[in-house]
Structure formats: structure tokens, C-alpha cells
Homo-oligomer: A and B are copies of this chain.
Amino acid sequence: MAEKVRETVDRIRRLEVQGARNVAIAAIKALEALAQETRAKTRENFVKELDEAKTVLFASRETEPLMRNAIKWIITRVEDCDERSVSALASLVSSSSKSFQKKLEASKELIAEIGAKRIRDGSVILTHCHSSTVTRLLSKAKEDGRNFEVICTETRPALQGRITAKELVALGIKTTMIVDSAARAFMNDVDLVIVGADALTSEGNVVNKIGTSAIAVLAYEARKPFYVVSELLKFDAATLCGDYEKIEERSPTEVWMEAPEKLIIRNPAFDVTRREYVHGVICEEGIIPPHSVNEVVQRKYPWIFL
């Protein structure tokens, strides 16, 4: 296996690469490196190398459907191609990796464009954690001349809300930060909740940063639209086959560095929001009910189910 693959797996494992998008890109760049450096002489050997890389990359982190789909995209294209020359296949890996990244970038832009229309002048948006697609969407809404403000939670324990806050303030958007547990106290002032996603399941549920599902319940109680912004490429086909979406648990020191001995600290990174709390999924196909995510993916990305 290429050095690059092993190194990438390590970096993903040690959380040096973070965020669904970054992890996915790192993984397929590793495949590109593998393809360029391959010493395989036959198609069979080359495919075998790819498969081994896939296995270790898949195992590097639990909740990463985007990375898995990115790898599937490349390998599927290689398998579907009749070419027997290794160098031709290697360039196919490279071009597929590029096309996937473009697809991802295009999806993000499309989502920003579509979602920005949901923001009206004077709106108050609540968001949780940090998502580059959400930031892009908000920035697009501002470019479109909409005047609005954002309330963002600090998002304990890792305080990614501060990244969001900084980005929004830099964009000149009026931004208010609150502690996570104040979400309900401010929900009445909110017009719209918009959050990102780490994974979409076949049942239409959404996996995202811990705390998301509570905000969804509170938005529902307060009758505020709760939108999830996500590329359909985050769909996890394994859930269709019955697998539970895995929920990573992170280090207790993220929560309290000098915690007293014997104190247990639980620190799951994500939670699951049930489809009935989600007003709509804003994706590259438009705004759709979470209930139909599986069918839309079946229509648009059939290779995900292979």
C-alpha cells in the first residue's frame, strides 16, 4: 500500500484531519497518490491495491459516510471501466478524484444558492456548531442583499461555535453567541434554525454534532422551521442495510481537563435528529423532506448502493 495511504489513515485516526469534507478529500487524495506510485503491473493487482486501501481508510474513523462514498465513487468508476492498462486506470483514479471534489464544491454552491433564498430581510437564524456549508449559505444570503442576524451556540465541548462566530462577524453579519443551554430561552426570537449534517440515514434521520437533536425538539416545540443543510453525498447506504450509524465518543479531557478522579465524563461527538423534527433537507437536489432522502439518492447516485 502506498505510504501516503498509511499516513492519511494515521492522520484521520489521530483527529489531525477533521470535518466530513476534509476527511473525504484527504482519503481520495491518498488514493490518487497510491495510483501515481503504484507498482502494479496488471489491472487485477491494481484493483486489489485499491481495495486494500479502501479497507484501511474505511476503518480509520466511525462516522464518515462522505469519505466512504468518495472512495466508492472512484473504485466504482475503475471497476466499470474496461481498460486494462494500469496507467490508464491510474489516471482514471486521478480524474475521478477531481470530479468528486468538483461535484462536492458544486453541491456546496448550489446548496448555498438554494438555502439563501429561505433567509428574508430581518430574519434571525439560529445555528449550532460549525459547518462551512452553513457559513457559505449565510454569506450568499448577505451577498444577495439580505439583512439578517445570527444567534450561534458556543457548542461545547470543542467550542466550534466560536469559529462560526468569528467567520460571521468577519462577514459583517450581526452575530450573537449564547451557551448551548440557552437555546430554548432564545427560540421565540428565532425565525429559522439551520444546521449542517455529518450523515443522512435511510430512515430520513440526520446525524450531526451533539446537541443538534435537542435544538430540533425545541424548534419543533416553538414551531420554528429547522433546516438541515447537507450534500446528499453524506448519505450512509449502510443504514439502509440495517447498520446503526456509529456515534464516535471523544476524550473526556475535552470536557474538563483536571476533572476529579473517579468522575466519569461522557463525551459523544454526535447525536441523531429524527426526521419529524426536520422541516427540510437543503441539498444539491433542492429542498426536500428528509423522508424522501433515500429515494432521491437512489435516483441521483445509484452507485452509492453498489
Residues of B contacting A267 in the complex (Cβ-Cβ under 8 angstroms): 178-179, 182
Contact with B along A263-297 (1 / 0, CB 8 A): 11111100100011001101001111101101110
Name which residue of chain B comes closest to A189, CB basis: B266
Residues of B contacting A218 in the complex (Cβ-Cβ under 8 angstroms): 214, 217
Q: Is A15 an interface residue (CB 8 A)?
A: no
> Could you jot down 18 A-B contacts, CB within 8 Å?
A117-B242, A176-B265, A177-B259, A177-B264, A179-B211, A181-B210, A185-B268, A185-B271, A186-B266, A202-B286, A202-B287, A203-B288, A214-B218, A217-B217, A222-B222, A239-B287, A240-B286, A240-B288
> Chain A: how many interface residues by the 8 Å CB criterion?
81
Instruction: Specify how many copies of this chain sit in the oligomer.
Output: 6
Q: Is A145 an interface residue (CB 8 A)?
A: no
Q: Which of A120, A289, A295 has the most CB of B within 10 A?
A: A289
Selecting from A52-60, A77-85, A94-102, A149-157, the interface stretch reads: A149-157
Q: Is A299 an interface residue (CB 8 A)?
A: yes
Q: How far is the CB of A304 from chain B (nearest CB, A)?
A: 12
Within 8 A of B (CB), among A164-216: 165-166, 169, 174-186, 188, 202-204, 210-211, 213-215
Selecting from A20-28, A30-38, A43-51, A108-116, the interface stretch reads: A108-116
**Known contacts A169-B261, A178-B255, A289-B294; can you find 14 more A-B pairs with CB under 8 A?**
A114-B241, A116-B242, A117-B242, A154-B156, A156-B181, A166-B260, A174-B262, A175-B263, A176-B265, A182-B271, A204-B289, A275-B289, A276-B276, A291-B291
